[in-house]
Structure 1
Amino acid sequence: MEAKSSNRCSFWLPKKKRSCANTRIESSMFCGNHSQRLEGQWIPCPIDPSHSVLQENLEWHVKRCPLLKQTVELSGQRFYQKGINAGNDEEEEKMGSCSLVTSEMKRNLLYSMSVSKFHQLIKKIEDVHGGICKDIEDSYLSPEACNIWFNKEIDRKLPFQEKHVLQQGSILGNLEEIGVLKRCNINVECCESDLEEKDDNTAPAVVEFGAGRGYLTQMLADCYGIKKVYLVERKSYKLKADRSLRQKESLVLERMRIDIEDLNLNAVESLHGVPYVAVGKHLCGPATDLSLRCCLSRQDGESPVLRGLAIATCCHHLSQWKSYINKEYILSLGISKDEFHIMTSFTSWAVDDDHGSKLPGVDDIDLLDSK
């Protein structure tokens, strides 16, 4: 037991209150994750910057990076167009620089504000919100069409979490409420969209952005007779809904492993001229804007026909001025680019139990006295 523990990494994990369980590197007290990384020794992988490699191993790694094969395959797809939904040069000229702003840069913008400027911004946000959001109401729906999911009358092999099922049901219920979806009769194979032509009895196709494992689309297929499905997701997941969806008779499924920023939906051949509904649950930060750009890009006679769209947003603190789709509107409200980024930083406070302590040199009483 003692010999076994001596091979373990000595790095202490304060949150877990124990040492790291990984095996240490020879001639070091720590594992590869916790050994000291000398400046310049580790560099971001040029294919996938989300991980780093030793500079001396770079040439070897580039030939074997797991993302290399996917990148090569993706570059050959017609619907791949690097940065097509990221914004354009014309926007940058009119609205100012659109470079990526990190969370640390956003916090620095906030901390550099004087207390009076801080309160001016808060008042501006409250005034704008009061003027444009007074007519917005919550619309939480539980459509009858989704009862087989609400009542757990589904295949036991499908994962069931009540919170997610209720959220997904409300998204679909609101689409039904505005007439984009129409519930199926039990004996009818296909649903009919109120927005489609009378002689077309097929349901619209579904494009799910940030699809993850695809269970929002699974509910759509189960409850609304959807027959054509496109799942857009840049990551790889286990336990996907794909296997269950492919078992449905006459359902056509296409999963596109691609970043939404690079997806040219007009170039997806099987979607040409097809009416579709776009959905997304938990599209983090700029992914919402990228999805909107993707759906609202210039269209021609062969382009897919957008019937409706429903997106549940999240992670607003990750939003970027670069990809934000309605810069002119924000500027018309008197909110600058820097104030936009500070506002996005504010949104993280909803899940931060002690954000006030991070304001340098400013006590709560100082903020109260300055009002």
Structure 2
Amino acid sequence: MTDGHCSFFLEKKRRFCRFKPNPGQKYCAEHTGLLGIPTDRKRIICPIDSKHTCYEDQLTKHLKKCRKQQGVLPAYHCPGINSGEADEDDLDAKFSLLDIPTEDLKQLILKINKLYDEHIKIPTEILSHSCLEEELCNSSYGIPAIRHRKQQASLIGHLDKMGLIKEAMTYVELGAGKGMLSHWIQKASEENDNCNYILVDRGTCRYKADNFHKWDDKGPKFERIRIDIEHLHLGKVNTISESCNPVVAVGKHLCGSATDLAVHCVTHTLTTEADGEEPVEKKSKNDKCKKFGGLSIALCCHHRCQWKPYVGKAFFQKNGLSIKDFKILCKLSSWTAATWTGWKSVDEMNKSQGTSTDYSKLLVEKTKLHQEAVSSIVPDNSQQEEKALANSDYLKSKEKDTSLLDRNVNAADTESSDSETEERSNDTEQISIKRPELNLSIKEREEIGRKCKRLIDYGRVEYLKEKGLNCDMKVYIEEQLTPENVAIFAKPS
């Protein structure tokens, strides 16, 4: 274990605790109390939640900020507002692909192929953005870190192309996690004034990017809302209701039904009247000018989709697909991840693409160009030296800022990637059945799984178009980096 950290080994996470112990202690305060090690200050079980402890002499202070403290629910917490309508024919009972007769499965696969050929045409548009240029050229990063940054760069590139990186915008990251997508959007918008950043997630995590934006010199502070998207009424969030800024909703891999909850949340709680709201003509000026600005959601985990919140029901019903067919498609979608193999290393990726991640080489070239440009504009040597020193100090401060953030976030990249890999492994073990009687090769099963994903996504696209939005589904990142390489982009017409 690295010096300066708790020596308690977490069996479930297969790593040591990352909290720092008090001086002279081997374990952090929480695990010191758990192990019954005597200390100068006594720790007691929190009276609100028995799962954690606090110092006895700081109990009053702890109770004021304890996250388990039960209080009045905020106005934007509207139970089930985005959960969708229940269907009487919805089957709650779980079933396996092994339960489906072979002939029925063959007929459904034929229908999947037919619908895919009729409706699905997905362009590939892999973009990038200058805000992540240095990160993408960092030769110390492995595939997990590069994958996250390439995804973020492409999503921000699409937002910029859609004209959504500009002044006076409110960005809402749904399923925010660490909030890295919002962090880089803020970096891309540094020169834009009056921008708000709202991060929504139902859980908590460590190494949040929010911590980087606590100080005034780091741009706008991030507002984090801890709530399930199912219960979120965006129009009642103060930052949104009190501002005329267009709202841009973003999400990087909203698992399964979370995508549908997010789409419903954006299209209903910003543009329609929920129960108990005043008529439009009676709303305040701020409510009248409030509007939906755009949407960018990277899609994943289709095997976790559910019929009740799914927004593309009309597309399925129009094409003669039942609720059970939808659930089978969700299960078949796992066939893509079950056989996927991508780039194993950055060197393999660079060789395949003919690129380099050696930032030092690129920096030398950029420095030469910069010096040539400066010398042509500023002939006076003293002014040139003064400018160079100023630029040097600025670059050092920027490098320091980035390293402080990456010191925490990069450590979490590997952890999150490991959990994603483990999740995919567990899911495919349970869901992906070869069904040899279907006489399908590995490649054919992978293709069927991909088609199922796209049909589920196309239902979402159709729904957004019915709401009067311009909507596209695009391949935004290389498949060798992730099999979940498609995103939905939408803007008002």
- Fold shared by both chains (TM-score > 0.5): yes
- Closer, same or farther: CA 363–141 of 1 in aligned 2, 3 Å: closer
Asked if 1:337 is matched to 2:330, the reply is no
Aligned to 1:137: 123
Structure 1 residues 323 and 61, CA, compared in 2 at 3 Å: closer, same or farther? farther
The superposition leaves residues 19-75 of structure 1 with CA deviations (integer Å, 9 ceiling, x where unpaired) of xxxxxxxxxxxxxxxxxxxxxxxxxxxxxxxxxxxxxxxxx9996366997576465
The separation in 2 between residues aligned to 1:178 and 1:322, in whole angstroms, is 31
Aligned residue in 2 for 1:294: 265
Matching residue's letter, 1:245: H
Distance in structure 1 (CA, Å) of the matches to 2:431 and 2:207: 41
Q: How does 1:123-162 map to 2 (within 5 A)?
A: 123-134=110-121, 136-151=122-137, 161-162=145-146
Aligned partner letter, 2:186: A
More helix by share: 2
* Greater displacement, 248-257 / 264-273: 248-257
* Aligned-pair CA distance for 1:140: 0.8
Q: Given the alignment, which residue of 82, 86, 90 partners 1:85?
A: 82
The one of 213, 221, 232 equivalent to 1:252 is 221
Instruction: Please state how far the C-alpha of 1:144 moved relative to its aligned partner.
Output: 3.4
Q: In the alignment, is the contact (CA less than 8 A) between 2:174 and 2:251 conserved in 1?
A: yes
The 5 Å alignment of 1:44-193 reads 64=49, 70=67, 73=70, 75-88=72-85, 92=86, 95-98=87-90, 101=92, 105-107=94-96, 110-134=97-121, 136-151=122-137, 161-181=145-165, 192=166
Alignment partners' CA distance in 1, 2:431 and 2:255 = 27
On the 8 A contact 1:276/1:307 being kept in 2, the answer is yes
User: How much does 1:127 deviate?
Assistant: 0.7
Q: What is the CA distance between 1:367 and its match in structure 2?
A: 2.7
8 A Cα contact 1:208 1:279, kept in partner: yes
Cα deviation, residue 178, structure 1: 2.0
Determine which of 257, 265, 268 is the counterpart of 2:237: 268
Mapped partners of 1:277, 1:180: distance in 2: 8
Residue 326 of structure 1 and its aligned partner are, at CA, apart by 2.0
CA distance in 2 between counterparts of 1:212 and 1:146 reads: 19
Q: CA contact under 8 A between 2:83 and 2:230: conserved in structure 1?
A: yes
Name the CA shift for 1:358/1:130 in 2 (closer, same or farther; >3 Å). Answer: closer
Q: Which amino acid aligns with 2:236?
A: A
The structure showing larger relative contact order (alpha-carbon pairs under 8 Å, at least 6 residues apart) is 2
Whole-Å separation in 1 of the counterparts to 2:231 and 2:300: 21
Whole-angstrom CA distance in 1 between matches of 2:46 and 2:88:
38
Question: Are the counterparts in 2 of residues 207 and 279 from structure 1 also a CA contact under 8 Å?
Answer: yes
* 3-state SS of 2:227 partner: coil
For 1:62 and 1:204, the matched residues in 2 are separated by 42
For 1:232, the equivalent position in structure 2 comes to: 200
Counting matched residue pairs gives 274
Q: State the partner residue of 1:36.
A: none
Give unpaired runs (5+ residues) of structure 2: 1-11, 15-44, 53-62, 274-279, 340-427, 441-493
SS at match of 1:296: helix
Find out whether 1:210 has 2:178 as its counterpart. Answer: no
- Evaluate the alpha carbon distance shift between residue 334 and residue 61 of structure 1 in structure 2; reply closer, same or farther with a 3 A threshold: farther
Q: Is the CA contact 1:79–1:267 (under 8 Å) kept in the aligned structure 2? A: yes
Question: Hey, what does 1:4 align to over in structure 2?
Answer: none
SS of aligned partner of 1:352: helix
- Output the CA distance in 1 between the equivalents of 2:337 and 2:145: 22
- Tell me how far apart the structure 1 counterparts of residues 223 and 51 of structure 2 sit (CA, whole Å): 22
Q: Structure 1 pair 313/62, CA: closer, same or farther in 2 (3 Å)?
A: farther
Q: 2:331·2:431 contact (CA, 8 Å) conserved in 1?
A: no
Specify whether residues 358 and 145 from structure 1 end up closer, same or farther in structure 2 by C-alpha distance, changes over 3 A only.
closer
1:281 corresponds to which of 252, 265, 277? 252
Alignment of 1:303-342 (within 5 A): 304-342=290-328
Letter in 2 for 1:217: S
Is the contact made by 1:106 and 1:341 (CA closer than 8 Å) also made in structure 2? no
**What amino acid is the match of 1:270?**
T
Aligned equivalents of 1:74 and 1:231: distance in 2? 21
Q: CA deviation at 1:175?
A: 1.4
> Is the CA contact 1:145–1:224 (under 8 Å) kept in the aligned structure 2?
no
Please tell me the residue identity of whatever aligns with 1:282. Answer: H
Asked whether the 8 Å contact 2:155–2:296 carries over to 1, the reply is yes
Q: Residue 347 of structure 1 corresponds to which residue in structure 2?
A: 333
2:214–2:221 CA contact under 8 A, matched in 1: yes
Give the Cα–Cα distance (whole angstroms) in 1 for the partners of residues 198 and 47 of structure 2: 31
Q: Deviations over 1:177-208 (max 9, x none)?
A: 22222xxxxxxxxxx3xxxxxxxxx2411100
Q: Give the partner amino acid of 1:268.
A: V
Change (3 A) 1:127 1:62: farther
Q: Match of 1:368?
A: 439
